[in-house]
Every structure is written in structure tokens, then in C-alpha cells.
Amino acid sequence: MRRLMICLVFLLAWSGLSYADEQDSERILGNMHDELERNFETLQEEEKPPFYLSYEIVEDDVIQVSGSYGEITRDLDVLNRVLTIDLRVGTPELDNTRVDRTPQRVNFGSISVDAEQPLKVALWNATNSSFRSALSQLTRVESEVQATVEEEDKTGDFAAMPKEDHRGGSLQLATVSESFREKVKRYGLPFKYEDHIQSNSVSIVGEIETRWFVNSEGTKIYTSEAYYRINISATTKAEDGMELRRYKSYEALTPEGFPDDDTVMTDVRAMIEELEALRNAPIVDPYTGPAILGGRAAGVFFHEILGHRLEGHRLKSVTDGQTFKAKLGEQLLPKNFTLYFDPTIREYKGLTLWGFYDYDNQGVKARRVNVIENGVLTGFIMSRQPMEGFLESNGHGRRQSSSGFGSVSRQSNLFVEVENPVSADELKEMLLQRVRDQGREFGLYFEDIQGGFALTGRAMPNAFNVQPLVVYRLYPDGRQEYVRGVNLIGTPLTVMSLIEAGASDYDTFNGMCGAESGWVPVSAVSPSILISQIEVQKAMTSRDKPPLLPTPVERDDDEVSLDHHGHSH
């Protein structure tokens, strides 16, 4: 049975836009705390009272400008607030969350958290509904416990944590809509003049996420964080029907943190050239042999094969493979490898990280968690669901704010550090030596990657699949050749035992990770790594031929030459 913390989610929406400053936020926290205390105290008179209650309101103020071929296709400005309630009945050892269900959602219509009485009424109504649902869940849980064998892990369902009191600064979105529109047009224009480009997209997003959190332990938290991101993608289609994609993103904490236009336009031109090369590249047959994963590819690799298997709630589930639960103290990586999660870091070596936060969605302070030290497994990332040997949260109880899911242990910023690394050139020479030693024709280099997925349950093979964007062969004579149509696959224990070395060329992958508690932003920082033996399989591909009809995009032959700013000559 999958274990998810259960919450009740309510949408608080309105047509008029308003923003909370520090004084407003203190008042909102006070109103939330007063209503929580009143409701919690009143419910103690019930036969099965709650032992824990929390309210979290998340406000997302978002602007997004999107386009393609140098034209605007979407221009949004949205302000949205969502209330989530986590109400628990029973006991910390056995509560209503030990059940799998679809959370209830209620749209409250035109309600603003700035209005004291409407907010308190909304919280009162939501708490009533949540309490009734919790009682029904507890009845089901108690019946299931009676009908199933005793749990292997008897640590219970909920861990108490110390009271927290935190007020962050108040942020507002920069006035950047017009600037975003200009950039979207500029960055998308070069795709208009390339015959091999089948589709393209440029999107620039600015978001301020503001959170108010209170619970029955006395915690009061207010945070406000800014996120800015540029996404550029394009696709082409090879003659055999395979669709190929290139993707580039830039993350920043302020609009000023974005790279300049020259840098972005240089990357756009590189994407166009790489897509043309890839569509003419050979397809790799299934292969085993040595490979290098570049920094971004290695980051996703560790996120998928290791990170998900170190999330505490999985290791407690009897349906999970529990790959590493019994391996504390064992050597998993080379002795010069250290791996940790740290959501408190917002930038690393000049690059913005996406998986940062001050407090998780359960009101627990974010902190660094060492999981592998000198190659040895030392810990796991935990939410407020305890497990044997790890009875407290370490600040990784996360969820998508608008998802309706409860919080579970999730990754944040993943860091892979290598002591005494080799240079990138030395790593390539090591790869070529493995090629010669194994009698291979070539080795593979995974330069960039779009994502992947991991299977951690027992019902399916406990495996991973990493999906690259750019791969090429490295030959012993120094030649390199683009290839396409491969996915990196394998099983975690085997492939981790074959990691040999890491370089000094750190890079960052930022993305959104989807799992039981919805989509959350994550980052992975890693150097390039050498693996002595990997396996690749053919990627799924379309059998559709390239388009028969000519594209409707008007391409002026006189304007095919563009400078770095996207201006035609």
C-alpha cells in the first residue's frame, strides 16, 4: 500500500490582485493561528480528536510570456492562492494517513486571505470537512491493520518536531513583461529561417511563491521566494521518422541574473546546428561498454538511480524495492565520492539552483543531509514520517503546492563532490583506455540530457531509464561522432559499482521532478563521471515520415543571416 500523507486542499481565488507585505503577512499568520487554535481546541472534545493540525497557504504570482518563430503565442499574468490542511486523528503510531486516496478539493470562489472574517470562515469550513474525512480514513486504516500482517517497520506514522518561528522578507515580481516579450521574440526568430526546424518554443517565466504556515505545535512561518526561468526548445525530424529535440534553460533569482542576449543567441544557434547534425547522425544499436556522463547527465543519473531510492517514505513501504535500506555503512561509490542534499543553497559556482527553500511543506527547517561520505552510505532524506533508525524529519517533506497531495520525503539540491578529481581531458583518456582494454570500437559520451525515470517498486524490475539529448561516440584515434536514438538503462546496484572516477568540470541540472506528492523543483550538481560498463537500448521513435506538406512558416531567403541579437541582414 502506497503511503501518502493526506491533506485537504482548497482553492482561494479572486479577480482583484493584491500583494502581502510584512505587516499584512504577520496579520494573516495571526488570523490563521487564532483559527487553528480555536478549531483544534474545540475538536479535542470529540471522541477521536485530532492530535495534529496544520494550515498552509501558498500564493503564486506568475507572469509567463511564450512564443515561437519570433512571435508571441501566450502572455499570462496570474495570481493564485491555495490552502492545504493536514489534519491527523488516531495517534502518531497509527493515524488516518496510512491510506491511499484521492484528496478532496473544494473551490471557495471569491475569497481573499487579506479579509479576516472570510478567511477564518474558510478555514473553519475546511477544517470541518477535513475532520470528517480523517475519521472515515482512520476507520478504514484500523480495518486494514486488522486484516493484514504486522508491519516490518513499527516506527509509526508521524514524528513530532520542534516549534519554528520564521519571517522571511516580502518580494514582488519585477516589472518585466515588456522585456520578456522582447526576449521571446528575439530568441525565437532564428528558428524561422531554418528548414529543418519542425517546431520551437521560447518561454520566460517569473514567479513569486509566498507561503504562510501554522500548526498545532506552535510553528509560524512566512517565506517569499523568487524564481525566474528561460526555456528554449526545438525539434527536428530525421528521414526515418525519429523526432529529435534540443532544450536549453536558464535559471535566476532575479531578471538581472539571466545571461545577456549574446550568450543566449549563441546557444540558440548551437541548438539549431546540433539538431541538423543529429538528424543525419547514425542510430546506435544496443550496446554495453565504457561511457562518460557529462556533468548535467551525471546529475540526472544520480537523481534517478540513487536519489529516489534514498527517500525515506519509500524505504518504509512494503511495496518498495528498498534497494539501500539495509546498506547503511556499506561502500556504494568510490572512496573519493561524497553525496549530499542541501536545500539552503541558492547558487553554486555562479549557477542558480532550483531546489532551494528555507522550510519544507511540513514546517521543518531545511538543512544539509549527508547521504554518502567517502563512498559509504550514511543516511536518507526524511519527512515527518519516521522509519527505523531515522525518527525525525531532516527538512525534506515536500509537495506541489497546488496538487492536493500530502507531503512525502523528496529530493532538493543534490550535490556530488569528488576529492582529487581528474581533469576532463584525463577522464576522456581513461575512457579510451577502457575502450582499448575491452576491445571495443568506441566509447560513448553523454553530453546533455532531458530527464529520466526510476522504478523503485517490487512489482516491476527495479531499474532506471535516463533519456539523453546529445550523445556521441569517442574513438581511440580521437574522432567523435554524433549518434541518436539511445536511452541509458540499468539497475542501481550494478551500475553504481562500475563508477570509476570523476572530473573537476562541475555542471548543474535544474528541473521538475514528478512523484507521489506532485511536481517539485529540484537541482543536481555533479562533475563528469566515468563508468566502466553501461548499457543502452534503442529509444522509442515515431514511424511517421517527415511532413509531406510544406511548412506554412514564411522563410525569406534574403534574411537567413542573423546576428547574435536575431536582427536580419
Looking up residue 202, the CATH number of its domain turns out to be 3.30.2290
Does one domain contain both 148 and 291?
no
Is residue 279 domain-resident? Answer: no
Percent of the chain with pLDDT over 90: 62
Going by C-beta distance under 8 Å and a sequence separation of 6 or more, which residues neighbour residue 423?
A: 503, 504, 505
Taking alpha carbons only, the member of 338, 469, 389 closest to residue 153 is 389
For residues 346 and 356, is the Cβ–Cβ distance under 8 A? yes
Is residue 443 domain-resident? Answer: yes
Is residue 150 domain-resident? Answer: yes
Q: Inform me whether the pLDDT recorded for 4 exceeds 60.
A: no
Does one domain contain both 350 and 223?
no
Residue 349, sorted as left (phi over 0), alpha (psi -120 to 50) or beta, turns out to be left
Does one domain contain both 220 and 353?
no
What is the mean pLDDT of the segment spanning 490-515?
Answer: 91
Q: Inform me whether the pLDDT recorded for 108 exceeds 70.
A: no
Grid cell of 279 as nine digits:
538528424
Domain end: 210, 229, 248, which one?
Answer: 229
Does one domain contain both 183 and 309?
no
**Using CA atoms, how far apart are residues 49 and 135, in angstroms rounded to an integer?**
9
Domain end: 197, 229, 261, which one?
Answer: 229
Does one domain contain both 189 and 292?
no
H-only helix segments in 233-294: 261-279
Does one domain contain both 182 and 320?
no
Domain end: 182, 209, 229, which one?
Answer: 229
| Number of structural domains in the chain | 2
pLDDT digits (tens, 9 = 90+) for 270-284: 999 999 999 999 988
**Using CA atoms, how far apart are residues 470 and 472, in angstroms rounded to an integer?**
7
Note the pTM of the prediction, 2 decimals: 0.89
Q: Which has the minimum average pLDDT: 14-18, 387-391, 427-431?
A: 14-18
Is residue 169 domain-resident? Answer: yes
For residues 324 and 157, is the Cβ–Cβ distance under 8 A? no
Q: Inform me whether the pLDDT recorded for 486 exceeds 90.
A: no
Is residue 153 domain-resident? Answer: yes
Is residue 548 domain-resident? Answer: no
Angle of CA points 82, 518, 412, to nearest 5°: 100
Does one domain contain both 163 and 16?
yes
Does one domain contain both 389 and 472?
yes
Does one domain contain both 214 and 68?
yes
Grid cell of 507 as nine digits:
555542471
pLDDT digits (tens, 9 = 90+) for 539-548: 776 667 677 7
Is residue 234 domain-resident? Answer: no
Owning domain of residue 113:
8-229
Grid cell of 197 as nine digits:
526546424
Report CA-CA distances (Å) from 101 to 107, 130, 408, 551: 19, 13, 14, 47
Grid cell of 465 as nine digits:
531509464
Is residue 410 domain-resident? Answer: yes
What is the mean pLDDT of the segment spanning 356-367?
Answer: 97
Query: What pLDDT score was predicted for residue 113?
Result: 66
Does one domain contain both 138 and 225?
yes
Residue ranges with strand state E in 318-377: 337-341, 347-348, 351-352, 369-373, 376-377
Does one domain contain both 166 and 294?
no
Does one domain contain both 409 and 312?
yes
**Using CA atoms, how far apart are residues 53 and 128, in angstroms rounded to an integer?**
12
**Cβ burial 387-419 (10 Å sphere, 16+ → b, else e):** beebeebbbbbbbbbbbbbbbbbbbbbbbbbbe
**Using CA atoms, how far apart are residues 390 and 555, in angstroms rounded to an integer?**
61
